[in-house]
Amino acid sequence: MSGKKHQRGIHELYDEDAVKADRVLWGREVDPLTRRGFLKKSGLLAMSAVLGAHIPFAHKMPGGLIPAALAGTDEPFAIPGKEDLIVLNDRPINAETPAHLLDDEVTPAHRLFVRNNGVPPERQKIDPKSWTLEIAGESCERPTSFTLDELKAQFKHYTYRLQIECGGNGRSEFNPPAKGNQWTVGAIGCPAWTGVRLKDVLTHCGIKDDAVYIGYYGADTHLSGNPDKVPISRGVPMSKALENETLIAWAMNGEDIPHLNGYPLRLVCGGWPASTSGKWLRKIVIRSEVHDGPKMTGQSYRVPCKSVAPGTRVADEDMCIIESMPVKSIITYPKSGILHQRSEALALRGHAWAGDRRVRRMYVSIDFGATWSRADLNAPKNRLAWQRWQAEVEFPESGYYEVWARAVDSAGTSQPMVLPGWNPRGYLNNACHRIAVRVV
């Protein structure tokens, strides 16, 4: 028998049992009603030693929570056309952007996350001059095919900044763990997209009175290599399809869309899961029923219609399709883990967004959410664009702090401080983003 001892990481311990991990690592007991943790002196000393500083608001720290200083990684990986993205999977390629690299108001191409379900068409085999888009379906009056040049010539062009986010963004925090790419907070971006309105194209082709949904098909291939299998074919209700901001886009930030993000043509349905924004777009169907392509049925991109206890198995018929994404925010400056002088105020900034809604207010906290300070919030550039926020905080003494960010949307819905309701696939985690700051 091997004499080697299995080394278990902090994420493995917290994924297995967060409350037990608190007790084992720090001797912290958790109040089940308030979720506040009670650290014994020895545990407080142990956590402070690991974090490298005294923790002034330790008595307000929620239980079952990995300190932000220990919760992330910045290991870079090179992908053509991308810089410093963290790769979560290589078949298909899926990669996210560290929060501090999302500081631009308009997300540059090399910073936009990658989320693929199949294998993209080979870049060198894509000829935009011969690329065609077919509009069809049982509720289409005049099925038509357009070349890319015809789309550009026949319909008015629009440019919008549109936030696009993976439905599983934040999945890594769910407990019990959910299967799938373990996104942290970086599967989000807000580039400027240029194209034609989907509604203009659909109206040109004729929308029958019984139309209720659209669906898309792309040129990506199934991971199995079987040409008869479609990797993903999702869609949206007609009300979303006919919004002004829903685009058939060929450009991002004034240039061709990056290959891994859908070159030469894609849908952009801002504010809804990015899986509704089909890439390498070849066909759109107008449906008389809810679209039933791959990743539209079963439990894909669905959450329980009613709240369930963590770990509950939910029948397919009790799962509802995700539509508008929830209110959310990130801190993009400074980078988590910085060393800061107590004599100086710390400048903060980031972005906030709320699916189909607008963000109304923005707050920050340095005491684990016990108290909150109002941040300055900019108006969005256009509907469905994220909003820039700024704030300054001062620290009462030296030690380890976490800065938390919390947004409230136009309906008055706030981000939860730790985790929203559990779901089997780990979708829609919009818990407060937090960064670690050591004050000296």
**C-alpha span between 413 and 381 (Å, rounded):** 22
Query: If DSSP codes are grouped into helix, strand and coil, which group holds residue 398?
Result: coil
Neighbours of 7 (CB within 10 A): 6
Within-domain flag for 73: no
Q: Are 214 and 135 in contact (CB under 8 A)?
A: no
Specify the CATH number for the domain of residue 429.
2.60.40.650
Q: Is residue 90 classed exposed, middle or buried when 0-12, 13-18 and 19+ CB atoms within 10 A define those classes? A: exposed
- Do 276 and 338 lie in a common domain? no
In this prediction, residue 105 carries a pLDDT of 98
Distances in Å between the Cα of 111 and the Cα atoms of 80, 232, 276 are: 12, 24, 20
- Do 259 and 334 lie in a common domain? no
Query: If DSSP codes are grouped into helix, strand and coil, which group holds residue 20?
Result: helix
Specify the CATH number for the domain of residue 130.
3.90.420.10
Task: Write the pLDDT tens digit of every residue in 190-248.
Answer: 999 999 999 999 999 999 999 999 999 999 999 888 889 999 999 999 999 999 999 99
**Max CA separation in the chain (angstroms):** 74
Within-domain flag for 415: yes
What is the DSSP secondary structure assignment for residue 277, as one 8-state letter?
S
Task: Write the pLDDT tens digit of every residue in 395-421.
Answer: 999 999 999 999 999 999 999 998 888
In this prediction, residue 73 carries a pLDDT of 47
Distances in Å between the Cα of 56 and the Cα atoms of 43, 61, 68, 397 are: 14, 10, 15, 7
- Do 182 and 314 lie in a common domain? yes
Within-domain flag for 343: yes
- Do 139 and 260 lie in a common domain? yes
What is the side-by-side strand order in the sheet with 114-115? 77-79, 82-90, 93-96, 114-115
Task: Note down pLDDT in tens along the chain; length 440 residues.
Answer: 334 333 445 666 676 777 777 776 676 776 655 556 666 666 676 677 667 678 898 888 887 777 887 775 444 446 778 888 888 877 688 899 999 999 999 999 999 999 999 989 998 899 999 999 999 999 999 999 999 999 999 999 999 999 999 999 999 999 888 888 999 999 999 999 999 999 999 999 999 999 999 999 999 999 888 889 999 999 999 999 999 999 999 999 999 999 999 999 999 999 999 999 999 999 999 999 999 999 999 999 999 999 999 999 999 999 999 999 999 999 999 999 999 999 999 999 999 999 999 999 999 999 999 999 999 999 999 999 999 999 999 999 999 999 999 999 999 999 999 888 899 999 999 999 999 999 99
- Do 316 and 353 lie in a common domain? no
- Do 297 and 263 lie in a common domain? yes
In this prediction, residue 50 carries a pLDDT of 67
In this prediction, residue 24 carries a pLDDT of 67
Q: Are 73 and 86 in contact (CB under 8 A)?
A: yes
Q: Are 404 and 433 in contact (CB under 8 A)?
A: yes
Within-domain flag for 102: yes
- Do 137 and 282 lie in a common domain? yes
Instruction: Give the residue from 321, 349, 375 where a domain finishes.
Output: 321
Residue 288's domain comprises 79-321
Within-domain flag for 119: yes
Provide DSSP, 58-96: GGGPBTT---HHHH-----EEETTEEEEEEEEETTEEEE
In this prediction, residue 168 carries a pLDDT of 96
In this prediction, residue 5 carries a pLDDT of 38
**C-alpha span between 423 and 153 (Å, rounded):** 45
**C-alpha span between 438 and 241 (Å, rounded):** 47
- Do 313 and 344 lie in a common domain? no
Among residues 168, 402, 395, the alpha carbon closest in space to that of 295 is found at 168
Within-domain flag for 391: yes
Task: Write the pLDDT tens digit of every residue in 361-400.
Answer: 999 999 999 999 999 999 999 999 999 999 999 999 999 9
- Do 362 and 250 lie in a common domain? no
Within-domain flag for 3: no
- Do 171 and 62 lie in a common domain? no
- Do 154 and 40 lie in a common domain? no
Instruction: Give the residue from 321, 339, 373 where a domain finishes.
Output: 321
Instruction: Give the residue from 321, 351, 377 where a domain finishes.
Output: 321
**C-alpha span between 138 and 208 (Å, rounded):** 9
In this prediction, residue 12 carries a pLDDT of 62
What domain count does the chain have?
A: 3
- Do 46 and 86 lie in a common domain? no
Within-domain flag for 1: no
